[in-house]
Chains A and B, each alone.
Chain A
Amino acid sequence: MFQNIGEILILFWRTLQALPQVWRERQKVFAQLFDIGNASLLMVCVLSFFIGGVLALQTGPVLVERGISSVLGGMIGLSMCKELAPVMIAILTAGRIGSAMSAEIGSMRVYEEIDALRTLNIDPVRYLVLPRMVAIALAVPVLVLFSIPVGWMGGALVCEFNRKIAVGFHSYFENLREVVELGDVLNGLFKSFVFALTIGIISCHQGLSTRGGPRGIGRSVTKAVVNSIVLILILDYFLTRFLLYIKK
C-alpha cells in the first residue's frame, strides 16, 4: 500500500512538472473534455434531479409536521451544493470516467503502446496523464455547477407537487436565496476539484501499473473505481472539517 501511495505521489508530482506543457497538449485536453462531458452530462442532470427530489421527499413531511417547512429550500440548497452534488458527481465520475481512463491506459500498457512511446522518447506522463488530469480537473467542477441547480429544481418540484409537503416554488427559492451563499457553492466546487484530481491520478496510476493481459486490465479498472470511491468519502470528511475550520 505504501509503495502505491509513493508511486501515486510521484506520478502527481511528475504531472505537475509537465503542467507548463499543457498548451501543447490542448487538443488532447479538448478531446478528453468532450468525452467526459458527453459521457456524463445527461447522467449528472438525471442523478441530481432525483437526489434533490428524494431529499425533499424524505425531509419534507417531517419538517411540515414540526411546522418548519419554510426551511426546506435552504436545507436542500445547502445539502446539494456543499455535499451531495460534489460527492455524488465524483462517485459517478469515478465509475464512468475513472474506469475508462484506467482501462484505456491499462490496455496501452499491456499491448506495449506505452513502451513504444518511451522508445520514441515521448514521456507517457505528458502524453497520456497530463491531458486527462487537466480535463477531469476542469470538467468535474463544471458538472457540479450543472448538478447544483438541477438538484434544487428536483427538490422544488417535489415540494410544490407533493401533497404532504406543499411548499410553493416562491417560498422554496426565497428561503434558498436567504440561506445559500456564493461561498457555499465555491465550497462544493473546491471539493469537486480535489475529488477530480484524486480520481484522475488514481485511475492513471492504476492504468500505468497494469500487468498481464485482459484480466490485468479488468483488475486495474476495479481497483481504480473502488479506491477512488473510498478515497473520495474519506477525503470528504477531512475537506469538510478543513472548510468549516477556515470559515470560522
Chain B
Amino acid sequence: MSASPPHPESVGVEVRDLRKNFGWLKVLQGVSFQVRPGELFVIMGPSGSGKSVLLKHIIGLMTPDSGEILIEGEPIQDSGVRDKYRMAMVFQSGALLTSLTVGENVGLYLSEHQLKPPNEIAAIVARALETVGLKGLEERSPGELSGGMQKRVAIARALVVEPQLVLFDEPTSELDPLMAVTIGEEIVKLNKNTGATSIVVTHDRDLAFAIAGRVAMINEGRIILIGTPEQVRRSADPRVQKFIGAELATPKTN
C-alpha cells in the first residue's frame, strides 16, 4: 500500500535509543526509528516483544529509562507538547469508560474540553459512529457491545479528536477475520481521510502487510528491520522469516 500524502497538520515522530526495564526484565533495548508526517507505520512483532510498551511511551503514558520520543522535534515529556498536538490512542481493549454511554464515550474529548456546545457534540458523535458503522448506538452501554464493536467505538472516539497522531494497539486481536478486515479498513480510511500520522502495533501479519506504508519488525525489545511490506517479506533475516512464515503444522487425522 502506498503512503498517504502528508497532511499539513500531521506530525512526524522520532524515537531515539529508547530503553525501558521493568526490574530485571529488559523490555526495550535501544529502539530507534522515524515516522514521517501522514505515514501509516506498522510495528509488527511477536507477543511480549515490547510493542505495547513502546506505544505507551510514544503517547507519553510511560517514561523511558533513557532515550527520547520527539513529536515534531519536541520531547513528548515536555510540558505543553500534549496540549499542542492532538493525539489519540485506540487501546487493545478499547478502554471505553464503562460508566458512560457509547455516545458519551465518543464525545468525551469535546465535552470535557468544552470545545463545542452539546447539540453540536451530539451531531459530531452521530457522524463518527456512522463512519465506523455503528449508527444509532449512542445510548447503549459499552458492556452491551461485542469486542469488535467496542474497538470501533474506540476508533470513533479517536476520530472525534481529529488527531494529528493516532496510535493503535493490537487493533485486530480477539476479533474474527471478517471483523479484523473491517477494522483494518477503518484504520486506512482514518489515515487517508484525516491524513493523521498513524502508528499501529500488531502481531497480525495480514493486517500489517495489507495496511502499512512501512513496517518495523520488533523482536526482544529491538527493531530488527524497517521497510515496505515487500522488503519485509523478502528479508533474509531468519527471525523475520520465522515470524512471517510461522504456520500451524499438525498431522491430519483420518
Q: Which residues of A contact B (CB under 8 A)?
A: 24, 104, 108, 111-113, 115-122, 127
Contact = CB atoms under 8 A, between A and B. Distances in A.
Nearest to A119: B89
Contact of A113 (B97, B109, B114): B97
Nearest to A107: B98
B16 interface: no
B59 interface: yes
B88 A120 contact: yes
Contacts of B87: 119
Interface in B54-86: 56, 59-61, 82-83
Contact of B95 (A115, A121, A122): A115
Residue from the set A104, A108, A115, A118 with the largest chain B CB neighbour count within 10 Å: A115
B252 interface: no
Given A113-B96, A120-B108, A127-B112, 11 more contacts: A112-B91, A113-B95, A113-B97, A116-B89, A118-B60, A119-B61, A119-B87, A119-B88, A120-B88, A120-B161, A122-B113
Given A111-B95, A115-B95, A116-B89, A121 B61 contact: no
A208 to B, nearest CB: 14
Contacts of A104: 99
Nearest to B167: A119
4 closest A-B pairs by CB: A116-B95, A112-B95, A119-B89, A120-B109
Residue from the set B91, B99, B112, B114 with the largest chain A CB neighbour count within 10 Å: B112
B93 A111 contact: yes
B98 A113 contact: yes
A24 B111 CA distance: 11
B113 A108 contact: no
A122 B89 contact: no
